[in-house]
């Protein structure tokens, strides 16, 4: 048997947290992630299966919502990202596929992305330096895919003007961490 | 420049990439008897209007949808933005 050490996207054995001024930037690794895409012509079967699985309808454009253990995030027309605690849902793709059957295509995404959570009263000041999305107007429940310092990112508002999650492709981890910490230092 | 995305509202143009004339949606039937002539027109012949122009934009750094944007080439004023798949469906092109 191999005995391989799991590394975080930033390359350390444990996720990093950095405090800069009043802002906290944390690498988050306790989340499993999968994408769910509606298959053509399966709208009705998909709506029923999704409602059974999540006990709610999937969110509208630009919106995410928590449904039990699942975070449901709108990604694009007929596509959603589903997040859940890694400890209980490491095999999230299989769990979702079992629930949705052939009405949707499910793809494992967990290790494809790096997630940073930025918290603090000046989080909007930070995002406005990096990102064209209107972070000051984003309320709890808003989620949108946009650019952040030229990197394609998913911006999720967990709490209005206080707490945002930023997801970027995993290979951008160090670049995104650099952009976030540099911007945080410029705010002071 | 701001593009008013039909699903997401006003978005900065740096999130988008440009493809070209919206007539690229109208790909000819390759089995038609005059397919060669049709593809010649499809590939090479374009209007170059000074005024309203329908064109394809891709929301690459966003929700990855294709849009049909009507833009005035003289003023850059955008008068209409539709999802390309809605345009195609309205023509019976896709189900």
Full set of structural domains in chain B with CATH: 2-90 (3.30.2270.10)
Question: For testing the chain B interface, which of A131, A147, A169, A172 should be mutated: the one with the most B CBs within 10 Å?
Answer: A147
CB contacts of B12 in chain A (<8 Å) are: 132, 147
Q: Which residues of B touch A (CB under 8 A)?
A: 7-9, 11-12, 14-15, 60-65, 83, 85, 95
Q: What per-residue confidence (pLDDT) applies to A188?
A: 67
Exposure string for A48-63, b = 16+ CB within 10 A, e = fewer: ebbeebbeeebbebbe
Q: Which residue of A has its CA nearest to B9?
A: A62
Which among A41, A77, A146 has the least Cβ separation from residue B15?
Answer: A146
User: Would you say residue A1 has pLDDT above 90?
Assistant: no
Nearest Cβ partner for B12 among A61, A132, A152: A132
Nearest to A183 by CA among A130, A131, A118, A116: A130
Q: Is A31-110 a CATH 3.30.70.1520 domain?
A: yes
Cα dihedral A26, A75, A135, A127, rounded to 10, equals 40
Determine what percent of chain A is predicted with pLDDT higher than 70: 99
Give A77's contacts in chain B (Cβ within 8 Å). Answer: 7, 63, 65, 83, 85
Give the torsion sign (CA, A148, A77, B10, A66): negative
- Cβ contacts of A78 on chain B, cutoff 8 Å: none
Query: How is domain A17-29+112-187 classified at the CATH fold level?
Result: Gyrase A; domain 2 (3.30.1360)
Q: Which of A41, A77, A132 sits opposite B15 (nearest CB)?
A: A132
Distance CA B81, CA A128 (A): 26
State yes or no: pLDDT of A37 exceeds 90.
Answer: yes
pLDDT in tens, chain B (95 residues): 899 999 999 999 999 999 999 999 999 999 999 999 999 999 999 999 999 999 999 999 999 999 999 999 999 999 999 999 999 989 887 65
The ipTM assigned to this model is: 0.87
Residue A30 near residue A115, CB atoms below 8 Å: no
Shortest CA distance from A145: residue in chain B = B62
Closest-CA residue of chain B to A147: B61
**A90/A130 Cα distance (integer angstroms):** 32
> Residue A111's CB: how many other CB atoms inside 10 A?
12
Inter-chain CB proximity B7 and A144 less than 8 Å: no
Cβ contact A61–B61 (<8 Å): no
The residue-averaged pLDDT of A3-26 equals 95
**Taking CB atoms and an 8 Å limit, are A132 and B63 in contact across chains?**
no
Would you list the domain boundaries of chain A? 17-29+112-187, 31-110
């Amino acid at each position: 048997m191999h005995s391989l050490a799991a590394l975080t996207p930033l390359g350390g054995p444990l996720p990093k947290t950095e405090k800069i001024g009043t802002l906290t930037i944390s690498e988050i690794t306790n989340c499993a992630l999968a994408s769910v895409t509606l298959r053509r012509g399966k709208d009705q079967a998909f709506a029923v299966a999704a409602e059974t699985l999540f006990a709610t309808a999937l969110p509208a454009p630009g919106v995410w919502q928590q449904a039990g253990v699942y975070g449901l995030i709108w990604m694009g027309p007929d596509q959603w990202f589903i997040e859940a605690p890694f400890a209980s849902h490491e095999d999230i793709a299989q769990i979702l596929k079992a629930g949705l059957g052939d009405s949707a295509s499910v793809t494992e995404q967990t290790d494809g992305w790096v997630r940073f959570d930025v918290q603090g009263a000046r989080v909007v000041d930070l995002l406005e330096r990096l990102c064209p999305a209107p972070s000051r107007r984003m309320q709890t429940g808003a989620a949108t895919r946009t650019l952040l310092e030229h990197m394609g990112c998913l911006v999720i508002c967990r709490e209005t003007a206080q707490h945002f999650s930023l997801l970027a492709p995993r290979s951008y981890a160090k670049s995104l961490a650099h952009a976030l910490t540099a911007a945080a230092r410029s705010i002071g | 420049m701001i593009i008013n995305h039909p699903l997401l509202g006003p978005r900065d143009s740096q999130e988008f990439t440009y493809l070209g004339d919206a007539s690229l949606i109208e790909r000819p039937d390759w089995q038609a008897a005059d397919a060669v002539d049709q593809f010649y027109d499809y590939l090479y012949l374009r209007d170059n209007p000074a005024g309203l122009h329908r064109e394809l934009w891709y929301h690459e750094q966003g929700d990855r949808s294709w849009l049909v944007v009507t833009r005035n080439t003289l003023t850059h004023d955008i008068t209409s933005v539709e999802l390309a798949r809605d345009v195609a469906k309205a023509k019976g092109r896709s189900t």
